[in-house]
Amino acid sequence: MAEILAENLSGKAVMGTDGAELGMLYNITMDLDSGRLDNLVITPNDDRGVQTDFNTDQAGRLLVPVGRVQAVKDHMIIER
């Protein structure tokens, strides 16, 4: 995957490989010991019709492992 600056990802729409719009990228978490990226933190769409198996944080944002990212173009595409 080509290099992408984090500043270009903030606020990017996130879709599943099934075409479901999940929300907007809020932030990315990282393991301070290893330096590895952990999770995409996604503010879900107001449409609660999309069900996911992803964990959530205290604010209800989705926590999606970065290993699920399939592509980053106009949207971030994640494996569901």
User: Does 51 map to a domain?
Assistant: yes
Instruction: Establish if 27 belongs to a structural domain.
Output: yes
Residue 30 lies in a domain: yes
pTM of the model: 0.84
The pLDDT tens digits for 7-47 are 777 789 999 999 889 999 999 999 999 989 999 999 998 76
| Overall domain count for the chain | 1
Q: 1 lies in a domain?
A: no
**Three-state secondary structure of 14-67:** EEECCCCEEEEEEEEEECCCCCCEEEEEEEECCCCCCCCCCEECCCCCEEEEHH
What confidence score (pLDDT) does residue 1 get? 53
pLDDT attached to residue 80: 84
CATH assignment at residue 24: 2.30.30.240
Per the structure, the complete domain to which residue 73 belongs is given by 6-78
Is 69 among the domain residues? Answer: yes
Query: What pLDDT score was predicted for residue 63?
Result: 95
